[in-house]
Amino acid sequence: MSAHSPAMAAATLDFLCWAGVDEPALLEAFENDTGIKVQCKTFVGGDSMYSLLTNSKRQYDVVMVGSEYIAKLYADGRLATLDPADYDLSQYIPTFKRLPPCYVKDTMIALPIEFGANGLAYNTSVISASEASSYAILQSDKVKGKVGVWDRYLPIMGVLSKSLGNAAAYDISDEQFMALKKALFGMRQQMSVIAPNFPVLIASLARGETVVVPGGAAFFATALHRQGVPIDWIIPKEGGVMWVDSLVVPTDAPHPDLAKIFLQWMCSSKAQALLANKKAFSASVPNAAAYSMIDPGVRKLLKTENGEEAEALAKKLAVRTFPVQQTEQIWQNAWEEFKTGK
C-alpha cells in the first residue's frame, strides 16, 4: 500500500461519506501512503446516504454506511461482497472481527471502522452522574422543558426501548411497541427542542436550554468540551444502543481495485487513530492498536482508553438496526406523532 506507482498516482477514488470524515488529515495521509487521491461527496444522515447511493450509477467506489442500512442495501442488489482474506483484522477487538450486520450468513458485505454509544448526554452542572444513571431522569421535574433530541427516530426510540427493559431494542413485540410509544409520547411535555440536525441541538446544549439528550453520544461531549460546556455522557443501567459506521463497495463501483486498497488502509491502526481524532466528531474504533495514537483528551471523553475498554463498551450495547417485528413506517409514524404532539 506504500508504493507510489504511476497508475496509482493518476488514480482517484470516489468516496461517499459522513460530513466531517472528509477532513484533510485523514485523506491526505491515505494519499501520501498510496498515491491515490480521494474525491468526497458528503451527507448528513443515513437516509440521505441511502438516497444518494440508490439513485447513483457507477459513481461511488466506497460508501460509508450505518449498520442498519447494510442488509437493506444488499437486498437491493447495491453492495458487492468482500473477501475477509483481503483485510487484516488481527488487531480488531473481538466484537468487530465478525460483526453480524456486516455479514449476510457467511458472506462479508461491510468493513466496520468506527462506533459509538447512544445513551444519555447531560449537563453536569445540572444533573449528577447518579441521576443520569437511569433513563428515569427524563421524567423528572428537574428537566421539564429541558430535554432535547435530534430528528432521528432510531437512536432515540432505541434507547427508550432499552429503558423499558427490552434486551433487543428493535426486535420487540407489538405489545412492547405500544409501551414504547407510550414512553415516547410521555416525553413530549419534557422537551426543549426537537432539532432538525446536530448543530442545532449542540447549540441548544451550549446555551443551557437543553440539559439532557436521550440517545446522546460521546461526540456531543467531545464537541462541547472544546467550547467549555460541561457535558458528559453515560450508558444508563438499563443499557444503550451502538451506532457503527462501516465501509461498503457498490456493485457498480468504477474502481473496485482502488476500493480494496482504501478499505485495507482504513482498517489500519494509523487510519483509525485519525478517524478517532477528527474534529467534526470523535468515535471509538475497532482497532485496539490505534488507541496509543489517539489524543489522550479524546480517549478520556470517549471513555475508551484502550482496546479492552472499547470491547467492554461494545458489550454493553445493542447494535442499532431497523425494526424487526414492525415495519420502518410504523416506527416512523410514531415518531412523526411525537414530533407534532398529535
In this prediction the pTM is: 0.92
| Mean pLDDT (10-residue bins), the chain, 342 residues | 51 96 96 97 94 97 97 96 98 97 96 97 96 97 97 96 96 98 96 93 95 90 84 96 97 98 98 94 95 95 95 95 97 97 72
For residue 106, the tally of other CB atoms under 10 A from its CB is 7
Residue 116 and residue 125: Cα distance in Å, rounded? 24
Of the candidates 150, 149, 121, the one whose C-alpha atom is nearest the C-alpha of residue 135 is 121
* Strand, coil or helix: 245: strand
Which cell numbers in the block locate residue 79? 453492495
As a whole number of Å, the end-to-end CA separation of the chain is 56
**Would you state the pLDDT for residue 3?**
47
> SS3 helix, strand, coil % of the chain, rounded to 5?
45, 20, 35
Closest by Cα among 221, 164, 229, 18 to 213: 221
Please work out, in degrees rounded to the nearest 5, the angle formed at the alpha carbon of residue 76 by the alpha carbons of 71 and 80: 70
* Beta bridge partner(s), residue 15: 40, 62
Rounded to whole angstroms, the Cα distance separating 130 from 330 reads: 34
